[in-house]
Structure formats: C-alpha cells, structure tokens
A and B are shown apart, each in its own frame.
Chain A
Amino acid sequence: MTAVMNRRAAILGRAGVPQLMALLAILIVFSILAPSFRQIATYSNIIVHSAILGVVACGTTIVLISGGLDLSVGSIMAVSTVLVGSVLMTQLPILLAILVGVGVGALCGLVNGTIIVTTGVPAFIVTMGMMGIAKGVSLIIGAGKDMSIFPKTFTMIGTGLKWPGIILALCVLFIAFILGRTRLGFNAFAIGGNNTVSRLSGVKVKRNQVIYYVIGGFLAGLAGVMYTAKFDLATPNTGDGWELQAIAAVVIGGTSLFGGKGGVFRTVVGVLIIKSLETGLIHIGLGSFWQRITIGIVIILAVMTDSLQRKNE
C-alpha cells in the first residue's frame, strides 16, 4: 500500500537522497568558487539562519503531507511575536510569554482547521483569510509600539547556535515521530494520498486534519517566539512572506505539494539548500536580487521533479 511505503520512506529518508546530494553539490560548488566559504563558521552560520525557518517548515511539512495548505503561518508569527513582546514588556514571567506565543499559534491553527473541515471552503482561501486577520490583529496590538530589549534569559533562546539548534532538532524529531510512529502521522499520508478512500476506510479525516493545522500553527507560534528572542524586538512586520518560504523549503526538500508523500528530514535538507544558496551567493559577491532569482529557479525545478516522479508512478 502506498501509504505504508511512503511512511517508511519518511523515516528512512531514502526518497530524499537526490535532494541531499543536491545540497552537497551546492556546498562543493560554492567552496570551489569562493575561498571564504570554506570555514566552519560558514556552516554554523547557515544552520543559525536556518533554525527559525526550519521550525515553521516542520509544521508546513505535516500540513502539506495531509493534503492541506496554510498560507497564514507568516501572520501567525507576527501575532505571536507581538503578544510575546507585550507580555514581556509588562514584566510577566518569560514562560508565560512563550506559552502565549505558541498558544496563539495553536489557536489560529485550530480556527483554520475547524473552518476548513466544517465549511468545505478550500484551505487556500481560509488560510488566506486568516493571514489577513492575524496580520490585522498583530498591527492593532503592535503597530507603533517600541517593544524591544528583552531579558537576556529570554533572548538566549534565539541567540547563536545552541538553543535555536536544540529547538529545531526537537521540532524535527517531534514531527518525525508523529509521521513515522503514530496513527495520526500514518493518517496524514493516507488522507493526503486519497481523502475519500481514507474516509471510507474509517479514518476520522476531519478531526485529524484539524490537528495537523493546530500543529502547524503551534510551530509557527514557536517560530514567532524564537524570532522575538533572536532579534530582540517584537514588531508586526515579522513573518512577511514566511509561509511561501516554508512551502518552498518543504517542496525543495522533496515533499509533494499535492500531499500523500514526504518527510521532515527532507524538509531540513530543503531549508539548508535555500540557506546555503543565499549564503554562497554572498560569498561569491552576488547580491540579494540574485538570491531571489536562484531560489525561484530551484523551486520550479523541485516541483517539476515531483510532477515527473508522480507521472512515473
């Protein structure tokens, strides 16, 4: 059964090997073209800049595998960061701020998922609406306010490599566990692969779908918390465009945009491919406009590969 095979592939990552080789090829090419690329600092820097996007992309992975789509994750980051900032500015405990951040993310996910499964309105539209609502809320709460300079014990979780790396690793393992070892994860592949058949086989499709959106929202909220800690400020300008970046990373990594197959380790590779390209282009002296062109081309190539593979199946 395809769902079983895809699930195994998700854990073992066998299907993600071409992307891994692509990543290594990119790193080698830049190492040859730019002497300054060949330092440990370059690689640790890539991981530092990958952490927050990685966390968001973990959530996007499971949503996409289940056949869903969430365009609101960027705005969820924004509302999370302004709430975290607000809590911190009133000197309330840091833990409360973090809980509020991830909590509002999960709540947005819950709203998204519930509307999608009860009304049947396409996920694209619902999450696009939530994108506007969450952004608007974040502006109402945070526009024109100076929320910055937070306690060191908080910003620590966003600074450097250690804590962001640990948080990213935990998120990756969390999603990998769900996808590989739980009924919930198994169902994601089934629902994404064939929604109707899953429902007829007794899978509680609607309930599961809501949970996937909650997970995605939770991780977006967590990314908002990490962003606030890393940059030591909370503004509603956070997260603009991140939903597309997360989708790009997941797709480049090898998870199908149309659902039914994929894996979170592949997503990590996808994020690293994007960030390695961005970093490498700076090292060879090409500016940020080239980064956007390159990433755009890579996305198209990745989706083309996915389509061709689907045709062959």
Chain B
Amino acid sequence: MGRIAKMVLVLVLCGLCLSTFAFGAGHGKNGKMLIGYTGFAPTLIFSFNIARGVEDKCKELGYEFVPLMPSETKAELQVQALDNAVIKGLDGLVIMPIDARALGPSLDAAQAKGIPVVVVDATVNHPSVKAFIGTDNLEAARMAGRYIVDKVKGQGELLLIGGQVGHPNGDKRAKGVKEVCEAAGMKVTFRPTDWMTDRAMQYATDDLQANPRITAVFSAWDPGALAVKQAAKALGLLDKLIIVGFDGDMANLKAIKAGEITATARQQPYVMGQSAVEVLKKVFAGKTDFAKEVLIPGEMIDKTNVDKFLQ
C-alpha cells in the first residue's frame, strides 16, 4: 500500500472516530436501572456470594446487574473497572473494596455523577457512600477468640494468620482474636498475608514446624484456613491443632464436617448483597429511612451445628 494511501486511510478512520461523537453518549439498555457490583475476584467465594446476592435482588426488582469484578484481586483492576463503569453510566454501585485506600478518586468520580454507592464488607470513608453493610468483624473475632480459648483451655500459643494490614476487616479480626487470646494468657504470633493463600500456607508450614507450642491457628479468612489445614496435614499435625477460619465458605463447612478444620465464623455475604440493593432501591425512591451502618453478627460454626448450614 502506498504511503499516501496509508495516510489517507488513517485520516479517514480518525474522522470516522470523531464523528461518532455526533451521535451522542448513551446510557443503558431499555431504561432499566444499572446496578454495578465490584469486589474481590470471583475466585473468592465470599465475593462471589455477595455478587449472587446483588444479582438475584436486581432480577427481583427489575434492575440490570452489571458485573465489574476484576479477574484478579488487584486494587488497580478494581479501580479501572470502576472508572470505566462510572463513565459508561450507572445508577447505583455496590462495592466490596479490595483496598479501600485506593478508591478515593474513583468514588469522587461516582459522586460527581450522582451515583449512590453502598459499601459491603470493608468500610470506606467517603461522602458518596450511602450505607455500609458488613459483619461486625470485631465482635465476631472476639467470639472466635473465646471459642479458641475454650477449646484449648487457654493452653499453648496461637498462630494468627492475618489478612492485609490496613484492611479494616483484617485489622479488626486480628485485634479481636488477639485481645481475647492474650487476655487468657496465650502468646499470639501474627503473620499478615495480604489475603494471599500461598503466603498463609508458607507461614503455617514454617511456624508449625518451628514452634511446637502452637495449639491453635486462626485464619482471618476461610481460604487461609484451608491453606493452614493443608500445611498441618503435610506436617502430620492435623489432629493436634484447633484450626478456626472466618467467612463460612462451603468448602470450609465441608472440611469441618470431615473433621479437618475445627470451626469458622460465619458471615452472610449473600444477604449483604441483597441488602445493599434494597438500600439502593430506597435511595432511588428518595427515601432516607435506612440504617447508614448495618452490622451483621457472626456465628460460630463447628461440627455440632455444621449440618444446618450444609443444606
């Protein structure tokens, strides 16, 4: 192709591109309210369940569900998806923050467009947030701590596999469990993992091998507890340890039933997702009669009551 021809073609394409502006920016399809949800990558069951709750409620209320979950749990991907969705135009947003600290500019953009935001699971401080729905992580963690102390009679040491330092839930869960266990006289070793299961496995393997005084392991999220279980199994320590997780994932419930994990603190992600959309419904109607902060209590699940939840 001649050089002139190439240049002409490039100019024509540029012109076509610019001319599309003339048709104006649109909104959504068939007038339905667009509700976007973004959270951790759907590989995290907890986030996936929140998404299901949001989606089912949207179907029920006649809203259109816009999935904005990143394929990998990276803060920058969540920000990118959010920014693009805000530009595309949404009527409401439900956000489960990957890293609340990174969301400032994106929430500013949402606020500028008047898009109401409901945050679930981890708190975000921003004027565009209409409500927060999450587990009372501190109380649930204390409850988990008391469960552990009760099981080991306050003997031995606790290995605390944490989440990400600076993540409100990671911090609260670590704080709650640590408080209760230390008050009972147990030494607590804290290992933050940035919510990465391979790091949880690494720390569990190293610490369990190096420290025979560990009698219990708490993981701030359920996938971490599964990783701890694998590490303990490989070291032959499974029946000597109390392993407690946090979330209430089905995989962990099955492991509890099989006697490989001791317990988990149950969250209700599906309900969180549904409640978030219900709040948005009220916001759309101009109502303000909803709680700005909904703290859902946790519940300990162990072998004694796991069957109830395995339905």
Q: For residue A238, which residue of chain B has the nearest CB?
A: B76
Say whether B210 faces chain A, with CB atoms less than 8 Å apart.
no
Q: For residue A24, which residue of chain B has the nearest CB?
A: B13
> How far is it, in angstroms, between the C-alpha of A143 and the C-alpha of B77 when the chains are bound?
20
Given A232-B101, A233-B99, A288-B71, are A34 and B88 neighbors across the interface (CB < 8 Å)? yes
Say whether A285 faces chain B, with CB atoms less than 8 Å apart.
yes
Q: Are A233 and B102 in contact (CB under 8 A)?
A: yes
Q: For residue A241, which residue of chain B has the nearest CB?
A: B72
Binary CB contact string for chain B from 68 to 110 against chain A (1 if under 8 A, 0 otherwise): 1111101111011101110111000000000101101100000
> How far is it, in angstroms, between the C-alpha of A37 and the C-alpha of B89 when the chains are bound?
10
Give the size of the chain A interface in residues (CB under 8 angstroms): 49
CB distance from B65 to the nearest CB of A (A): 10
Q: Are A35 and B68 in contact (CB under 8 A)?
A: no
CB-contact partner of B10 in A17, A38, A159, under 8 A: A17
Contact partners of A279 in chain B: CB under 8 A? 84
Say whether A8 faces chain B, with CB atoms less than 8 Å apart.
no
CB-contact partner of B27 in A32, A35, A148, A285, under 8 A: A35
Say whether A240 faces chain B, with CB atoms less than 8 Å apart.
yes
Q: For residue B90, which residue of chain A has the nearest CB?
A: A36
Which of B16-24, B246-254, B302-310 lines the interface with chain A?
Answer: B16-24
Q: Are A283 and B13 in contact (CB under 8 A)?
A: no
CB distance from B63 to the nearest CB of A (A): 14
CB contacts under 8 Å to B, within A230-256, are 231-233, 235-237, 240-241
> How far is it, in angstroms, between the C-alpha of A237 and the C-alpha of B78 when the chains are bound?
14
Binary CB contact string for chain B from 270 to 310 against chain A (1 if under 8 A, 0 otherwise): 00000000000000000000000000000000000000000
Contact partners of B6 in chain A: CB under 8 A? 17
Say whether B166 faces chain A, with CB atoms less than 8 Å apart.
yes
Contact partners of A137 in chain B: CB under 8 A? none
Say whether B25 faces chain A, with CB atoms less than 8 Å apart.
yes
Say whether B145 faces chain A, with CB atoms less than 8 Å apart.
no
Give the size of the chain B interface in residues (CB under 8 angstroms): 48
CB distance from B52 to the nearest CB of A (A): 14
Count of inter-chain pairs, beta carbons less than 8 A: 121
Q: For residue B79, which residue of chain A has the nearest CB?
A: A231
> How far is it, in angstroms, between the C-alpha of A48 and the C-alpha of B191 when the chains are bound?
36
Say whether B240 faces chain A, with CB atoms less than 8 Å apart.
no
Contact partners of B88 in chain A: CB under 8 A? 34, 36-37, 282-283
> How far is it, in angstroms, between the C-alpha of A148 and the C-alpha of B21 when the chains are bound?
39
Q: DSSP class of A's interface residues: helix, strand, loop or mixed?
A: helix
Q: Are A143 and B194 in contact (CB under 8 A)?
A: yes
CB contacts under 8 Å to B, within A157-190, are 159-160
CB distance from B231 to the nearest CB of A (A): 18
Contact partners of A38 in chain B: CB under 8 A? 20-21, 23-26
Say whether B241 faces chain A, with CB atoms less than 8 Å apart.
no
Question: Which B residues lie at the A interface, using CB under 8 A?
Answer: 3, 6, 9-10, 13-14, 16-17, 20-21, 23-28, 66-72, 74-77, 79-81, 83-85, 87-89, 99, 101-102, 104-105, 162, 164-166, 191-192, 194
Given contacts A37-B88, A292-B71, 10 further A-B contacts (CB under 8 A): A24-B16, A35-B24, A42-B87, A48-B83, A146-B165, A233-B102, A240-B72, A240-B74, A287-B71, A288-B71
**30 A-B contact pairs sorted by A residue (CB < 8 Å):** A17-B10, A21-B10, A25-B13, A27-B17, A28-B13, A34-B88, A35-B26, A36-B87, A37-B88, A38-B23, A39-B21, A39-B87, A42-B84, A45-B84, A45-B87, A143-B192, A144-B191, A145-B165, A146-B165, A231-B99, A231-B101, A233-B75, A233-B99, A241-B72, A278-B80, A287-B67, A288-B69, A288-B70, A288-B71, A289-B71
